[in-house]
Amino acid sequence: MRRLMALLATCATVLGLTALAGPQAAAAAGCKVDYTVTNQWQGGFQAAVKITNLGDTVTGWKLGFAMPDAGQKLVQGWNATWSQSGSAVTAVGADWNRTLATGATADVGFTGTFTGANPKPTAFTLNGVACTGSTEEPPPTPGDGTPVDVNGQLHVCGVHLCNQYDRPIQLRGMSTHGIQWFSKCYNNASLDALAKDWKSDLFRIAMYVQEDGYETDPAGFTGRVNSLVDMAESRGMYAVIDFHTLTPGDPNYNLDRAKTFFASVAARNADKKNVIYEIANEPNGVSWAAVKSYAEQVIPVIRAADPDAVIIVGTRGWSSLGVSDGSNESEVIDNPVNATNIMYAFHFYAASHKDNYRAAVSRAATQLPLFVSEFGTVTATGGGAVDRASSTAWLDLLDQLKISYANWTYSDANEGSAAFKPGTCNGGDYSGSGVLTESGALLKSRISTADNFPTS
């Protein structure tokens, strides 16, 4: 990283701004701060602080404010480096959230103590500039401005996912965990947070077929999927209906179940613009020829009811284009599925799948329409530490190639890939920074940056 140049320090001094001792620190041309006391008890409280950058991109930020009452003391904070001197409190961005693009947000927070009153601070600065930005939403563009309203019915054009204006777009969002285990995580409050606070474009609904899933109650699981599709639609998000085959790995084992399920959900949701069908999550231990045969039998079932929706086809080797089985993308390129308006799934876990997988995606993206319908920031087990460097390299690549993605998982599972801390889904707070894991905070910071959906 480059050192802070003397010129920048000089400019900051001239403008009367507080220059940070970090690389590329910059003034914030405009900002707003939302401060919320999320919990309070005798002598103590917890506060969530949401910073929104309304100006140019800021790399290296410091939030400042004063505690209004002498009895208020900072105890500890998260998602930033916190300190207090007298009444003055500062929070300096961490390595992973230190850059705020225009419209991007940083969710931080802290716990504190108080004696007497506990008033809220009202004046905030970002890199020395007062945060006086309006809390009003920007004027919407077309309609209400939701991803579905702007982009309408999606389709595949060339190697891209395209909107109603025939322009390539990228969708960014989150995947559920198995809805048979984490159903309590998916409700009005959590989807409100995903759509409004995370500004997510899509919501992937992972319906396991085995493992206490669909096969145990076909009607019940079909109804639950349809309900979640409706919830996503009402919030302007695209919904990926994921037929989550994993064990056994041959999707043909579930061919009849797939035909029954997709005939039902396609007929029911055919008039919706927000539905994408994912017909086989992670084929494994099976040839590409077998996966292709399955796809060419299931796709016509969907098309009979819903001729327009995009369909995602899983690939060999846990949807790795065969890379995890020692093959590569050429098997799909040389023998594609005989169908139109389809995309091919690619899944990765950043701590396990690195340069050779990224190279395969870079090559394949020139010839195949790809959709990263599942990925994690950790190992392929779903656990372990977040690999920030590999996760960032992956996300930058997907942004560059305009490949849509859904992160695993929007849940409070006790594993590194979960976005929420264990126990979060037992309560009602899904938007505060204090409930996010390291993975959740990283993904929220990427997903919540402004979309750039072309309309002409």
Which residues are known catalytic residues? 282, 374
Nearest to 403 by CA among 375, 434, 442: 375
> What does DSSP assign to residue 100?
E
Is residue 78 within 8 A of residue 107, CB to CB? The reply is: no
Cβ of 28: how many Cβ atoms within 10 Å? 25
